Amino acid sequence: MLEPLLIESKWPIADRRKLQLFSLATPNGQKVAFALEELGLQYEAHTVRIGQGEQFSEAFKSISPNAKIPILLDFDGPGGKPISLMESGAILIYLAEKAGKLLPTDPARRFECLEWLFFQVAHVGPMFGQFGHFFKYAKDKCDHPYPLERYTNESKRLLGVLDTRLTEREYLVDDFSIADIATFPWVNALGWAYGASEIFRMTEFPNVQAWLARCAARPSFQTAKDVTK
C-alpha cells in the first residue's frame, strides 16, 4: 500500500488506479485533458486555482518543481512504480506511448510528429502567451508599443507557418496526433481567451481556420475544454 502523498492533503485522490490530472483549463491545461479524452484513458481531474496561487503551495510543488500546471500523476508508471510528470509536451508523449495512439510508430513519422509538437512548445505557446499578456493582461502596466508589436508580429508569422503546413492536409502530421492536441488550444485561445481574432485577421489563414474547426468539433475536446474549468 502506497503512503499518502503530500499532494493528497489538498487534492484528495479517490482512485489510484486512475491517472491523476492537476490542472486548470488554460491552453496548456486543456492539452492534457484533450489527450486523455481522445485516448479514452480513465482519470481524475483536480482543479488548481492558479489565480489564487494554489500552484505555489507546498502540496502542489511536491509534484511540480516549477509550480506550473498541468501535472500528471500515474501510480502505475514505468515498472509499476508511481511517476509524476510536469511539462505538457512530455505528458502528451507519455500518454501517447502509454495508450499506443496519437504518436506514429514509423520512425520518420514519429519524429515528424515530435518536430511539430516541439514547434508548439518552443514557439507557439511562448509567443502566443506573451502576446496575450501584453494585449490583455498588461495594458495598464506597459505603455511602450514594442512588446505588443513584437509578439503580435511573431505570432502572425507562426500562424503563417501553420497555414502553410496545413495546405492540402487535415492535420499537422496528416493523421490527428499529439501535435494537433498541443497546438490547437493555443491557436483557439486567440479568440476565446484574448479576444484577438480581428487583430490577427484570421480569415487570412484559411487552412488554420479549417483545422481549428476540425479540432474543435472533436467530441473529446468538447468534453476536455470544461475539465478543471
pLDDT digits (tens, 9 = 90+) for 31-77: 999 999 999 999 999 999 999 999 999 999 999 999 999 999 999 99
Question: Is the confidence at residue 1, as pLDDT, over 70?
Answer: no
* Domain containing residue 86: 6-102
Helix (H) or strand (E) run with residue 142 in it? none
Residue 67 region by backbone torsions, left for phi larger than 0, else alpha for psi between -120 and 50, else beta:
left
Domain final position from 86, 102, 118: 102
**What's the whole-number mean pLDDT along residues 144-163?**
97
The grid cell for 88 is 505538457
C-alpha span between 11 and 60 (Å, rounded): 9
In a domain, 151, yes or no: yes
Whole-prediction pTM: 0.96
Residue 229, domain member (yes or no): no
- Cβ 16 vs Cβ 28: under 8 Å: no
CATH code, domain carrying 218: 1.20.1050.10
pLDDT in tens, 190-225: 999 999 999 999 999 999 999 999 999 999 999 999
4 vs 61, higher pLDDT: 61
Task: Tell me the average pLDDT of the chain.
Answer: 96
DSSP 102: S
End-to-end CA gap in the chain = 32
Do 113 and 186 sit in the same domain of this protein?
Answer: yes
pLDDT of residue 4: 79
The CATH number that applies at residue 98 is 3.40.30.10
If asked whether residues 81 and 56 sit together in one domain, one would say: yes
Cell representation of residue 181: 492536441
Q: Quick one: DSSP state of residue 2? A: P
